[in-house]
Structure 1
Amino acid sequence: MNQYVVGISADLAAPDGLTVFGDIGLDRLTDAGLRWEVFPDGGAPHAPTPEMLAPYDAVLSLGHWPFSRDLVAAAPRLKHVARFGAGYDGIDVAGLAEEGVIVTNTPLAARRPLATAALTFLLALSHRLVENHRLAAGGDWERRGQRRGIGVAGRTVGIVGLGGVGSEVARLIAPLGVRIVSEDRPSARARAAELGVELVSRTRLAAESDFVVLTAALTPSSRHLVDAGFLAAMRPTAYVINVGRGQLIDQAALTEALRAGRIAGAALDVLDPEPPAPDEPLLRMDNVIVTPHSLCWTADFVRDGSGSVVEALVDVARGRRPVHTLDASVYEGGYRARPRA
């Protein structure tokens, strides 16, 4: 029998396996009897091809390579796509399941770091931290009274996406004395009751929130969830925080709302597209904080994500059901091994 081979996406990894996150413990795959290699010649810059996938039983996707049903159908050896991270936009989970390919992610590793990233942004905006830093760095102390923060206690925080990350945000900010609201969806009701989150309509969330925090997954229905209409409903003193995906926001509409003073500011760890163009207006606005889709990349995230993704790769290689599978139908009647090419 051929050795089980894992391909590492080349978008965030060097040929020796060192990734943008540092060492993610690929030696544990070797210890388990699996062979691994980074896609040769850098792979494709934005997407794999069937020819690239042909030698591999599994792919460890560090970034956001897309995987369609047609793609994996043309790569019959592939059994498993393992995402290092919580997001899986661009991956046709149902289509891959139909082809017998399991998709896993590492949601617990990202949950607390993403939530603390959102809290970091909220506190920075509420104290106008970056604006005050610029005043001090520029020696403009006489204007410091013009950059007073709004504070947090008594404010309303609207969380868009009350899943794992959104729920963790609610837990972290509750002791700050804020009112927490989220959109009234059936899937959110049990969590909201547990966390003391008030469920309201999307319109009310936009109109009543001092801080709108986006933690939702990117789906066809959530794309441009924050559009011109949503922004027009917000208070001129309110802020937008996005630690989800850049496409959750209509970026042109956000830019216009900021320029026109219809909202007070924004903090964005994600943009659309990534990386942004050098002349992206949001990069030059004093009331906008932008980080390069990396704020959750803490030591804890790397440690926990590495352990989770390696465990999933070994489990699937051994015919065991991994913990964080995104479509359990692949396992109906047991793991359905794909025929090797």
Structure 2
Amino acid sequence: MEHTIVLSDTKTIDPRTQSEILEGAGARVEVLDEKTEDAVIEAVSDADGLIVDSITPVTARVLESSETLKVVGRAGIGVDNVDLIAAAEQGITVVHVPDYCLDEVSTHALSLLLACARNVPLHDRRVKEGTWDWREGRPLHRMRGRTLGLAGFGGIARRLAAKVRAYGMEVIAYDPHVKATEMDHYAVEKVGFEELLDRLDYLSVHTPLFEESRGMFSTGEFERMSDDAIVVNTARGPVVDQDALLAALEAGEIARAGLDVLESEPPDPEDPLLAREDVVVSPHTAWYSEESRRDLSRSVASDVAAVVNGESPTNPVDIELPWV
């Protein structure tokens, strides 16, 4: 029996690789370019599987509209665009790829932190403008002996903790779903949320986006941080309140920010954050390498093919462990 798989992700994954795996498993692939709720509903009306990126809406209305849908494959780690409760109620399996870009995102978070800590983008701009003056980027501080605070302690944060060990920083982490004994393996101290804010010099955000984490870092949180704190976000844009971040930077309540994700992607060209010299922005590219793209394609396609053929997937989403 031939299965139909709708592919609503032609940017971050390789549709040719996916098609080879899915067609090899007896599936017919239909590519959906329009990423609206109505378009997805129409596409999955008689589909067995759906593979999506981070901006394709997989709402309760989408999931309830199909009597044939067996599996949703999220081509990535986060599943905030998929209604997991509705999927469970409809008996639809949700799979994702939790480990394909751990090295890439942790390296990118470190890159943003280093760029901000040494003010590299500002120096680059000044030199190219004709100014050769080391004082332009002041003040800078030695990283050794400073404290890196991790919000969330899943796979990416663990890789980052290992990578910063050579910099001589203390690492603390807040994650209500990870035990202190687990953090001990990485020489990381488990702390409460308020203690995280009070002690950190650098913040790296690694929490997925759920209602409990939306706006997790806002006015009150920035006020508690030291005035020379650096905020790095490679998780999801809405975890950080962008208006509050802008206000904190303008008021000197924090020093700099490195952002790979924003509340709105792509951002409005007039977004005031983009004009600031104390903000470094990259276009949601932390996940990317040629190797991660290949691994992502193969993993999500293989799991979707397994489910439509009545087999167990390797990476089903556990609704009870949303942060890990």
Q: Quick check: TM above 0.5?
A: yes
> C-alpha displacement at 1:187, in angstroms?
2.4
Q: Deviation of residue 159 (structure 1)?
A: 0.2
Say which SS state the counterpart of residue 321 (structure 1) adopts. coil
TM-score with structure 2 length normalisation? Answer: 0.92
Q: Contact between 2:13 and 2:297, CA under 8 Å: does it hold in 1? A: no
Aligned to 1:338: none
Mapped to 2, the partners of 1:209 and 1:24 lie a distance apart of 45
Preserved contact between residue 46 and residue 67 of structure 2 (Cα < 8 Å)? no
Match of 1:206, SS state, is helix
Q: Are 1:43 and 1:52, in contact at CA under 8 Å, matched by a contact in 2?
A: no
For residue 193 of structure 1, what is the aligned residue in structure 2? 184
1:28 partnered with 2:21: yes
- The answer for the alignment partner of 1:275 in structure 2 is 266
Q: For residue 169 of structure 1, what is the aligned residue in structure 2?
A: 160
1:48–1:80 distance in 2 versus 1, CA, 3 Å: farther
> Does the C-alpha gap of structure 1 residues 216 and 278 become closer, same or farther in structure 2, counting only changes over 3 Å?
same
Cα distance between partner residues in 2 of 1:24 and 1:298: 17
Name structure 1 gaps, 5 residues minimum: 14-18, 330-341
For the 8 Å contact 2:6–2:29, the answer to whether it is kept is yes
Any idea what the Cα deviations from partners look like across 1:89-135, whole Å, max 9, x if unmatched? 02121320121110000011022211111111111112111011111
Provide the secondary structure at the position in 1 that maps to 2:72: strand
Tell me how large the CA RMSD over aligned residues is: 1.9
CA shift, 1:58, in A, is 0.6
Report the Cα offset of residue 314 of structure 1: 1.6
For 2:65, which of 47, 67, 74 is the aligned residue? Answer: 74
Question: Which residue number in structure 1 is paired with residue 130 of structure 2?
Answer: 139
Determine the structure 1 residue equivalent to 2:121: 130
Distance verdict in 2 for CA 1:163–1:310, change over 3 Å: same
Q: Matches of 1:203 and 1:248 in 2, distance apart?
A: 16
Aligned-partner SS, 2:77: coil
1:54 maps to: 45
2:4 is matched with which residue? 5
Q: Choose which of 208, 214, 222 in structure 1 pairs with 2:205.
A: 214
Report the Cα distance in structure 2 between the residues aligned to 1:47 and 1:263, rounded to whole angstroms. Answer: 42
User: Are positions 1:264 and 2:255 aligned together?
Assistant: yes
Equivalent residue for 2:109, pick from 114, 118, 124 = 118
- How many residues are aligned here? 318
Letter matched to residue 29 of structure 1? L
C-alpha deviation, 1:179, in angstroms: 0.2
CA contact (8 A) 1:162 1:188 kept: no
TM-score when scaled to structure 1?
A: 0.88
Structure 1 position 315 matched with structure 2 position 314: no
Corresponding residue SS for 2:104: helix
